[in-house]
Amino acid sequence: MFHRLLLLLLLWDFGRPTTANASEPPVFEIALDEPVHVTIAGQPAELSFVVGTVDQVTLNDSFVEQLGLRSGATTKADLILDGTSKLTGRRAGAMLEIAGLKREQQLYWLPGRLTLPLHGTIGIMAVPHHRVRLKIGSNEAPLALRMPLAGSVDSTAYGLVNLSPARLAVTLNPSIRTLLPLISSAPGVDLKSVIAGRFTGEEWEEEAGLGIRHKVRRFELAQPLQLGRLQFSALAARVVAMPARQPRPKTGEKPTIVLTLSRAQLEEQGCNSLVVDKQEMSIAFYCTGPASPSNIQIAGAVRFSGDKLANTNRSMETPLAPQTSQGSPSTPISVATAPAISPDGWVELQPSNPLLVKIAGKNVELALDTGDLPGVLLNEVAAMRLGLGSGARQAAITYAGRKTAEASGARETVVALMRGAATNILWLRGYDGELFSGSIELSSLPHDRLRLRLSPEEAGARPVRLKLVVPRGRSSRGATELPGMASFQVDAAIQKSWQLPLVSKSLAADLVKILGGRLEGRPWLETLGYQLRRPVRRLVLAKPLVIGPLSFKAVAVQIGGTPDESNRLARGQDVLPDADADTDPDEIVVTGKMSGPAGRRISLSRTQLAEQRCSSLAVDKPASIWELICRGPA
C-alpha cells in the first residue's frame, strides 16, 4: 500500500565544493538587458530576464493565445504586489527548453493587465539550470559576498545575512535606479533597533518595480554597513513598514529586513556579476567595492581577509554556457531517445538523455536518477497534466524520524521500451524542480538488466569491476565488507555533485578505528535533498579507504545538529562553529547508533564517479548484482 512513503534518506549534497569538475553541468550565463532565448511548448520565444520582482515565467496575453494555453487546463494564480495590490492571473503547465535543458513547469499570465517586454519575463529561480550567472558589467571583479540562498520561483532569489536581532535578506533589482539601497522592515520591527542610525531629511518617493512606488526617508548609519566588499553609509528606508498581512516570524525566529540594491548601487560598488547556485543554495556577488580594504567584516561577525574572499569557492569558475545572439544554445539540447538493447539483453542508457515513457497512457520525458528514492518523482505540473491528482494518496518524506516534506503519491503503470510495471509515483506540492517532467530511479525501470554509460571506454584501458550483492528489497546499491569492518552499503547518485563521498556516522566510526583519521577544517552546510540541509565536516583518513578500484583519502561525515538547528543555519540565523576552536583538535568523536548495513553506507556523487574514472553503473536484478566499472583515480 502507498498510504505513507517513509524514506530514511541519507541524502548527501556537498556544498562549498573546492574545485571545478568536468562532470559538472555548465553555468547558464545571461547578460543584463539581453533577451533569453527559449522554446515553450515547441515554439521559440524571447523572454526578458528579471531580478528582484517575481521569478515566474510570466507571458503576454498574445503569446499565451499563440501557444494555445487558454484551451487547456488552467488554474487561478493571482499576483500579489507589495503585499496589498492584487492582479488577477492564470497559470498552466508546459515544457520550457533553455540552453540545453528542458523542464515541464508552470507558466503565468495576467489577462489584460500588464504589457511585458518581448514575449514575457523569466527570473533566476525559474531557469532550470542549477547554476546561473547574471553578467552585470564588463569589468573584472573578485568575490565580494556569498550568502545562503533563499526565495523561490514565486518570489525571487535573495541572500541571508545574520544580524544580531534580525536577519537581512539581500536582493537586487537592476530594472530600477534608486538614490540609495532600499530597506524595508518587517511589521513591528524598529529599524533603529537592528542597525544603529538616524533618519534625516524629508520624505521622497522611489520606484520599487512593477509600477510600485514607496515613500522613503534617508537613514544615516552610525557606522557603515559592511557586507563583504560592499559598503553602505546610508539607506533609503520605507516610511511605512511592510504590510501587516505579511506572515510574522514564528516564535523564536528572527524577523526579516529586506535590502534591495538597484542598478545605481551595482555600478557604485563595481559589480561584475551575480552567481546563484541552487544546488549549493548560495548566492554570490562579484564586485570590487567602493574601496579595497585588507580586512573586511561581514555582518554577523564573520571576518575574512581580502585574499581569502577572492579565493573562496573556485567552483564558481565552472565552464559557462552563454546564450548566443541568434538564440541557439551553445550546448546540444538533450532529446528523448529509445535506449539500446544489447545482444546479451542489457538495456543501455545514457544519463544525459531523457527517457520517453508512458504514465497513465500519456508520454512523459523523465531524467534518469540513482539513489534512495525508488519509483518516479514528478514535477507537480506534470502530475496534474497526467490526471493523477484525483486518485492521490497522502505521502511524506522523512529524515531521521522527522517529516521534512508533505507529498502526494499514486501507483500507476509505467511503460518503457514496450514493457510496463506498476510503479510508485510521487510529487510534492509546488515542486517543479526536476529536469524534463520528472525523474525515474534506474532500478525502477521495468527491465531486468540495466546499464548506465557514465563515460566512453578508453582504448587499452584496464578497468576493474566492483561487483556487489544487492541487499534484499533494494536494487539501487550494493553491500560489501572490508577487513575489520561490518558490512556496509555503497550507492551512487548521478544527479548529485558532492565534492567528497559522504559516509554515515556509524561507518565513519569504523573508518577511524581501522584506518585512523581526524576531522579537519570548518563544517559546512550540505543540501541533502529538497532543500533539506545539514552540517558536515571533512574526515581525512590516515590510510586510504579502498573498495575495489575505488580509493578515497578523505570523506565527509554529518557532525550532528538537530534538523531545527540546521534549518536555522540555512536561514543565516547562526554561525557554524569554527573547527579550530575545538578544545582538543586531535580528538575525533564520530558516533553512530544505527546498526546493520542500512545505517552504514558510503554515497558517491557524479564527482567521485568522474574522479574514479568510472565508465558504467549496472544493475542485474535476477542475479541481485550492483556493479561499477572504474579505472580508479588517476
Task: Evaluate if residue 2 carries a pLDDT over 70.
Answer: no
Closest CA to 21 of 609, 554, 527: 609
> Tell me, what's the pLDDT at 293?
37
Grid cell 570590487 in the structure block, residue? 288
3-class DSSP state for residue 63?
helix
Number of residues that this document lists for the chain: 634
Ranked by mean pLDDT, the top range of 328-337, 353-362, 545-554, 569-578 is 545-554
> Using one digit for the tens of pLDDT, what is the confidence trace for 202-258?
999 888 776 678 889 999 999 999 998 999 999 999 876 544 444 454 555 678 889
Closest CA to 105 of 532, 495, 530, 438: 438
- Looking from the CA of 575 toward its CB, the CA atoms found within 13 Å total 13
Cα(2)–Cα(6) distance, integer angstroms: 10
Q: How many CB atoms lie within 10 A of CB 312?
A: 16
Task: Evaluate if residue 128 carries a pLDDT over 80.
Answer: yes
Q: Which letter does DSSP use for residue 113 in this model?
A: T
> Tell me, what's the pLDDT at 531?
56
Cα(475)–Cα(445) distance, integer angstroms: 11
- Is the model more confident about 386 or about 430? 386
- The stretch 25-53 carries a mean pLDDT of 90
Task: Evaluate if residue 102 carries a pLDDT over 80.
Answer: yes
Which stretches of 74-130 are assigned E, i.e. beta strand?
A: 75-76, 79-81, 85-87, 90-98, 101-109, 120-123
Q: Which CATH architecture has domain 464-630?
A: Beta Barrel (2.40)
- Is the model more confident about 442 or about 567? 442
> Tell me, what's the pLDDT at 564?
52
> Tell me, what's the pLDDT at 400?
62
Cell of 129: 539550470
**What is the pTM assigned to this prediction?**
0.70
The top-level CATH class assigned to 340-450 is: mainly beta
**19 — phi, psi (to 5°)?**
-140, 150
Q: Which of 262-266, 450-454, 461-465 has the least mean pLDDT?
A: 461-465
Q: What are residue 546's DSSP bridge partners?
A: 551
Task: Evaluate if residue 110 carries a pLDDT over 90.
Answer: no
> Tell me, what's the pLDDT at 301?
27
> Tell me, what's the pLDDT at 83?
59
Closest CA to 384 of 422, 438, 337, 420: 438
Cell of 309: 574572499
Q: Which of 35-49, 79-93, 422-436, 609-623 has the least mean pLDDT?
A: 79-93
Helix (H) or strand (E) holding 563: helix 563-570
> Using one digit for the tens of pLDDT, what is the confidence trace for 51-98?
888 889 999 989 999 999 887 777 887 776 665 667 788 899 999 999
> Tell me, what's the pLDDT at 20?
37
Give 382-433 as a DSSP string: HHHHTT-GGG-EEEEEEETTEEEEEEEEEEEEEEETTEEEEEEEEE-TT---
> Do residues 469 and 490 make contact, with C-beta atoms less than 8 angstroms apart?
no
> Do residues 385 and 74 make contact, with C-beta atoms less than 8 angstroms apart?
no
- Band of residue 38 on the pLDDT scale cut at 50, 70, 90: very high
- On the question of a common fold for 340-450 and 464-630, the answer reads yes
Give 347-372 as a DSSP string: EEE-TTS-EEEEETTEEEEEEEE-SS
> Tell me, what's the pLDDT at 405?
77
Q: Which letter does DSSP use for residue 174 in this model?
A: T
> Using one digit for the tens of pLDDT, what is the confidence trace for 149-187?
888 888 888 898 887 778 889 999 988 899 999 998 776
Q: Determine whether 395 is exposed, middle or buried from the number of CB atoms within 10 Å of its CB (0-12, 13-18, 19+).
A: buried
* Domain boundaries defined on the chain: 27-330, 340-450, 464-630
- The stretch 19-32 carries a mean pLDDT of 65
> Tell me, what's the pLDDT at 395?
84
- Is the model more confident about 248 or about 409? 409
Which stretches of 271-318 are assigned E, i.e. beta strand?
A: 271-277, 282-287, 295-298, 302-305
- The stretch 561-565 carries a mean pLDDT of 52
Task: Evaluate if residue 604 carries a pLDDT over 90.
Answer: yes
Task: Evaluate if residue 436 carries a pLDDT over 80.
Answer: yes
Cα(462)–Cα(282) distance, integer angstroms: 40
289: phi > 0 → left, psi -120 to 50 → alpha, else beta; which? left
Grid cell 541481485 in the structure block, residue? 624
- Band of residue 501 on the pLDDT scale cut at 50, 70, 90: very high
Ranked by mean pLDDT, the top range of 1-5, 53-57, 132-136 is 132-136
> Tell me, what's the pLDDT at 48?
92
> Using one digit for the tens of pLDDT, what is the confidence trace for 294-324?
333 333 322 222 223 223 332 322 223 333 3
Cα(107)–Cα(95) distance, integer angstroms: 9
> Tell me, what's the pLDDT at 340?
65
> Using one digit for the tens of pLDDT, what is the confidence trace for 243-267?
444 445 455 567 888 999 999 999 9
* Positive or negative torsion for Cα 628, 366, 471, 11: positive
**567 — phi, psi (to 5°)?**
-65, -35
Q: Which residues contact 370 (CB under 8 A, 6 or more apart)?
A: 441, 442, 443, 452, 476, 491, 492, 493, 494, 495, 617
Q: Which letter does DSSP use for residue 309 in this model?
A: H
Q: What is the mean pLDDT of the chain?
A: 77
Q: Which residues contact 296 (CB under 8 A, 6 or more apart)?
A: 226, 228, 229, 289, 303, 304, 306, 309
> Tell me, what's the pLDDT at 497?
83
Ranked by mean pLDDT, the top range of 113-122, 293-302, 351-360 is 351-360
- Band of residue 575 on the pLDDT scale cut at 50, 70, 90: very low
